[in-house]
Amino acid sequence: MSYNGGPMTEAMYYVLLALMRPNHGYQLMQSITEVSKGRLKMGPGTLYGVLSRMQKDGLIVLSKDDGRRKIYEITEDGEHALRNEYARLKSLISDSSVLEEGNDG
């Protein structure tokens, strides 16, 4: 299934976030764990499945393959999709402010 501009999976969002700096698979897994403060630990099966789909969708590219490591980069379309998703998530949080206000009204 290709990315159609709709809501992203959590795995897609964190992979794109981690690829704001070019990175290889093992570093990506560590970066995702670090950025999510340990909440999300992505295994190699999930990571490489997501990377493959995102390459096909043009959200990332393989920028270097020396036989030992494959370095991935986010594309302009990928950064645009990431920023759109970030804005969507911010709107969800903003719209949910009623939960912070409680039931006093």
Model confidence over 36-88: pLDDT tens digits?
999 999 999 999 999 999 999 999 999 999 999 999 999 999 999 999 999 99
Q: In the prediction, which pLDDT does 90 show?
A: 96
- Give the global pTM: 0.87
Q: In the prediction, which pLDDT does 95 show?
A: 92
17, 83, 9, 75: CA torsion to nearest 10: -60
